[in-house]
Amino acid sequence: MQLVVGRIGRAHGIKGEVTIEVRTDEPELRLGPGAVLATDPAATGPLTIESGRVHSGRLLLRFAGVRDRTGAEALRNTLLIAEVDPEELPEDPDEYYDHQLMDLDVVTADGTEVGRITEISHLPSQDLFIVERPDGTEVMIPFVEEIVTEIDLEEQKAVITPPPGLIDDRAEIASSRDADETERAEDESA
């Protein structure tokens, strides 16, 4: 099975290094020297990692055969894909591969059916579950511990405790301005 583990960013310097947008929780395992990665677009690869280092909090890689800025810039926006055994699990029991989460049933803590995970969107700040509801509409659920309280792979379900308004229209009014207007309206009717 293939997993996207990174995306090549801009060239760094003049010796062929590139910045990497890491898309794996195990970069030292997937993006270490000697790793051979497939690419998307496929014509760009496969690429063999020659060296890597962290500079100003950003991973920099150099690939075999890429010796200058022009070669590095030609790789920009290429996805890096690792071949992974489908039975392999992340080291941390609270981490999951996308393929493990796809098609899980999403239910609230009281058992109310919300829908089924059809996509996982990886954003810079957090991951989102794209959940298809039984009526065909979609809802986005942040994959954060406060909302997704349990992932049960044996039961094939994700349990959530959504805040008001996330999956329904019953949002709580938290604005002080709205509270003041409600108070004034009550005063005027009295």
**60: Cβ contacts below 8 Å, ≥ 6 apart:** 12, 17, 18, 19, 20, 52, 53, 54
* Closest CA relative to residue 125, chosen from 143, 102, 151, 138: 143
Reported pTM: 0.56
Mean pLDDT by 10 residues, the chain (190 residues): 86 92 79 90 90 89 93 93 75 75 90 90 82 90 90 90 78 51 56
